[in-house]
Amino acid sequence: MLSCSCATVWNTRSSLFRTFTSRYFSSSATVLNERPKAKERGHIIFSGIQPTGVPHLGNYLGALSNWVKLQRNAEPEDELLFSIVGWHALTLPQNPKELSASRMDMLATILAIGIDPKRSIVFHQDDNQCHTELAWILGCITPVGKLRRMTTWKSRLAASRNANDESEVDESLLNTGLFTYPVLQAADILAYRATHVPVGEDQTQHLELSRDLADIFNRTFKNAKRFFPLPTQLITPTRRVLSLKDPSSKMSKSAPDVQSRILLTDSASQIKSKIRSAVTDSIDGVTYDPINRPGASNLLSILAACTDEDPAAVALRYQDKGHGHLKADVTDAVEELLKRPRSEFERLKEEKAYLADVAKEGAERAKEKSWTTLKAVRSIIGLY
């Protein structure tokens, strides 16, 4: 079985796609020999985001902005699917009214940042029952040991309980949904026989499970040889955006201190206030040193992401300057980055009928594609 410890690309595609991949994602690669057999089939790119609260700067730089780049650079035969994964949100307690509102807000956000619902399929995961049916089928071939080795459920449970680290997690509080949701995540991807998944490095373990389950299915059923392609991870170029108040942890929507994160809906004055109060250090000058100077390095990383530069190169401009100068420039860069999508979001969230139409059309297109997969799976396993 091939490892997903680094990004992987196929060597049988055109040099143009490899060029756009290396331009926006990790250039390290493990060559895959597996390739879909369908005639003239392009790449199928799938990614999802939970509808829990307004996205923050880390979500935007780590995932959403890369969706737009993928859409802009995809070949005409490539297919792109972006899903709002409501079922995943249920793995932790949710306020029903807030979750309902967040579903539509997330859809408005995806459109506001530049995703075109005519070019890409944008839909609510919970509008397509094929995901849950395939998740059950995959769950029946998933070894429990693989799920127990997953680290994400431990970290999410620790965060939900405000624990200092995973060692403080009380496993008696673990629900089955949180334990098994990596299988549903695999179903999200495999329902469309996706070939590429743009996610951060923190999702490598989950994508590896998706590859494992695709491989197990292909080997378990004799007439399923290479039915599921092994999805390739496209690692986003931006490193984790860390908390402005605790640069030892990543920026999070669930952190109790609202000053720790910058939301896409924050005003210019709110952005300024949050960055001004960001944790740095008392060392003179500014250098990029994530280990010894995480606060300053986080601000440099944010600035570099906004200006599409390397953090170490950006740091050279501030080696003789103070943190105040850096914070002022980060404030200007973040405001410039967010002001257009913020304005567009405020407009779109009021157009509820339009959002409903986009969601309905996206769900219909997603169902059509995934039902083709599910019918074939049912036939392969003897249930169709």
Please tell me the predicted confidence (pLDDT) of residue 23. Answer: 43
Using CB atoms within 10 Å of the CB of residue 110, give its burial: 0 to 12 exposed, 13 to 18 middle, 19+ buried. buried
> 192 with 334, same domain?
no
* Distance from the Cα of residue 99 to its chain's centroid: 19
Q: Is there a domain that residue 74 lies in?
A: yes
Is 265 among the domain residues?
Answer: yes
Residues 341, 356: one domain?
no
Q: What is the CATH number of the domain that holds 329?
A: 1.10.240.10
pLDDT at 92: 86
**Does a structural domain hold residue 18?**
no
pLDDT of amino acid 85: 97
| Separation CA 199–CA 215 (nearest Å) | 20
Q: How far apart are CA 81 and CA 236, in angstroms?
A: 17
pTM here? 0.84
Q: Name the stretches of the chain with pLDDT < 50.
A: 1-21, 23-39
Residues 235 and 361 in one domain: yes
> How many domains are there within the chain?
2
Domain shared by 121 and 212, yes or no? yes
Q: For residue 39, what pLDDT is reported?
A: 42
Same-domain pairing of 113 and 190: yes
Domain with 262 in it: 258-345
Residue 168: per-residue pLDDT: 60
Q: Please report whether residue 7 resides in a domain.
A: no
Residue 30 lies in a domain: no
Predicted confidence at residue 252, as pLDDT, reads 86
Q: Is the domain of 173 the same as that of 73?
A: yes
| DSSP state letters, 260-319 | G--BTT--HHHHHHHHHT----S-SS----TTT-HHHHHHHHHHHHHHT--HHHHHGGGT
Give the CA dihedral 281, 283, 284, 285, nearest 10 degrees. Answer: -70
Cα–Cα distance, 362 to 120 (Å, whole number): 9
Cβ 132 vs Cβ 180: under 8 Å:
no
Angle at 333 between CA 340 and CA 278, to 5 degrees: 115
pLDDT of residue 24: 43
pLDDT in the model for residue 106: 96
| In a shared domain, residues 91 and 209 | yes
Q: What is the pLDDT of residue 14?
A: 38
Residues 266 and 368 in one domain: no
